[in-house]
Amino acid sequence: MENMLSSLFILLITTLTLPSYAQSVPCAKFKFGVTSSAPVNGYKKCIDLPVLSSALHYSYDPSVETLEIAYRHPGMGPSSSSKWVAWAINPTAKGMVGAQCLVAYSRPNDGSITAYTSPITSYGTTLEKGELSFNVTGLKAELINDEIIIYATIKVPNNGTTLNQLWQEGPLAKGETVEQHLLSGPNVRTMASLNLLSGALAPGRDLVSSLRNVHGIINVISWGILMPLGSLIARHMKAIIPSADPAWFYLHVGCQLTAYLIGVAGWVTGLKMSSGTHALLHLLHRWIGISLFCMATLQVSALFLRPHKDHQYRFYWNKFHHTVGHLTIFFGIFNILQGFKILMPATVWMVAYLFVVLAYVIADITLEVIVCRKKQSQVSEQ
């Protein structure tokens, strides 16, 4: 057991590697040059957006319901000509569907910059050109110092002072075909409500993003915390405290049943996300999750079908129960690591779980030493 948990601890360190993103100049320090397409008087406000290192500069005139914007996106130099960027407003919801996009990319053949509008009507969009639900004028884009900057003047929908904005980047295939952006990490956190008067941002979430978070939290508690705890109780409590029999058994069963029931809820949220566009994503994580659910169901079923202690098949049942249990714990924690790589939450959450696994490793090794010494002491007394 200690070898398995030690391996998991090493696995946690080696698998939590995050991709790096190009950094843009903070918006307050950025100066539009004389060669840029920015208005001569610049913009009244600017915001450093929370992910993808992007920035939004804007001027809002409520008297004429007009918004002038310059959206800056870094990492778009000649070596990144196979990417597209977009900034959007969603007048009807906080999610992706319904967003009205300004799209730009550098054409691979000659390096010229293309900018156009695209309304999003489904999650499977490829950002086809189309008219938006509000008026857009002066749309253009340019490449300056490794950044694509999109400029436009927008007739603010419903003259609202709070906008649901989105921003994004994704791959550009040969033939200038826009392909789907990543559905993990920072790319699923590119939504925020913008107060045009104050410049304040409020994070926005759609249903899928909320389900991802719920799915992740539930499964960390179930497969990543309760399951290993129940295993430690079964392995060491009886040996260290003989008087705890059969209390250790009920603690073990209660812990594992609770973990299983919570895990079922996590599995259901995973199924909810495994539809439509999301069905073919993160296949390794998905199939391990299905396998975990099957193994845990076997464990729960075996609990009610276990032979009596003196039965001739009890030895084989124990081997089966222990083997499937260890596999469930191993793949449960492994799949949680895969989930961290997919969601890319704040570093503090990954570090916190790292310490949870480390605590289990230390506890398991310590208890194993105590049990071994107790057995040696009993042998020597005999």
Strand partners, 172: 178
Q: What would the two tokens of residue 45 be?
A: 């406000």
DSSP state of 77: S
Please tell me whether 278 is known to bind a ligand: no
Closest by CA position to 342, among listed 177, 216, 207? 216
* Residue 95 Cα distances to 87, 112, 122, 337, angstroms: 13, 31, 11, 27
d(C-alpha 219, C-alpha 229), whole Å: 14
d(C-alpha 356, C-alpha 362), whole Å: 10
Contact 117, 136 (CB under 8 A): yes
DSSP state of 187: G
Closest by CA position to 49, among listed 24, 19, 75? 24
d(C-alpha 64, C-alpha 62), whole Å: 5
Please tell me whether 181 is known to bind a ligand: no
Closest by CA position to 126, among listed 154, 183, 84? 84
Please tell me whether 285 is known to bind a ligand: yes
Backbone φ and ψ of 84, nearest 5°: -115, 160
* Residue 53 Cα distances to 26, 37, 145, 149, 237, angstroms: 9, 21, 14, 13, 50
Please list, in sequence order, all residues whose beta carbon lies within 8 angstroms of the beta carbon of residue 17, skipping any fewer than 6 positions away: 341
DSSP state of 181: P
Estimate to the nearest angstrom the gap between the alpha carbon of 61 and the chain centroid. 37
Contact 380, 222 (CB under 8 A): no
Task: Specify the length of the chain in residues.
Answer: 382
Please tell me whether 321 is known to bind a ligand: yes
Backbone φ and ψ of 199, nearest 5°: 80, 10
Binding site members: 215, 252, 285, 321
Binding site members for heme b: 215, 252, 285, 321
